[in-house]
Amino acid sequence: MNKSILIVDDEEDVRAIAKLGLEMGAGWNVLTANSGQEGLSIAASYQPDVILLDMMMPNMDGRATLQQLKANPATQGIPVILVTAKVQQSERENFTGLFTGLNVAAVFAKPFRPLKLAKEISEALGWI
């Protein structure tokens, strides 16, 4: 299953580790963006199968980026998985509830395990 994923995160090492894990572990095509604004542009142009979106970024944070993704007809149907260091694994369901109206597919906690990331994304989206 050759999927396309967009990783939007301001931390270069996080993007690199996730990209490596998804390419090596699942053979997915991985696009990356280092800001919300860049992520919006890439999402509209390339239409990835899913977006992995960091919540804590300078300038345009994950919440603002998510709102713009869902407001744009070209990107509103793309599933979004939020990634945050601010929520513990046990609090993910409550955190997801904060974004109910914005159609968030899942919330993943940082740090994540890069080699398990493809499986976790696939499970969250019902691909397996």
List the chain residues with pLDDT less than 50: 89-92, 96
Q: Are 36 and 10 contacting, i.e. CB atoms less than 8 angstroms apart?
A: no
pLDDT at 101: 58
Residue 6: strand pairing partners = 31, 51
The tens digit of pLDDT for each residue in 36-53 reads 999 999 999 999 999 999
| pTM passes above 0.85 | yes
For residue 10, the domain's CATH number is 3.40.50.2300
- If one counts the domains in the chain, the total is 1
Identify whether 87 is part of a domain: yes
**Residue 92, φ and ψ in degrees, nearest 5:** -60, -40
Structural domain for 49, as ranges: 4-121
Beta strands in 49-88 (DSSP E): 50-54, 80-84
Taking CB atoms within 8 Å and a gap of at least 24, the contacts of 92-98 are: none
Question: In this structure, is residue 35 part of a structural domain?
Answer: yes
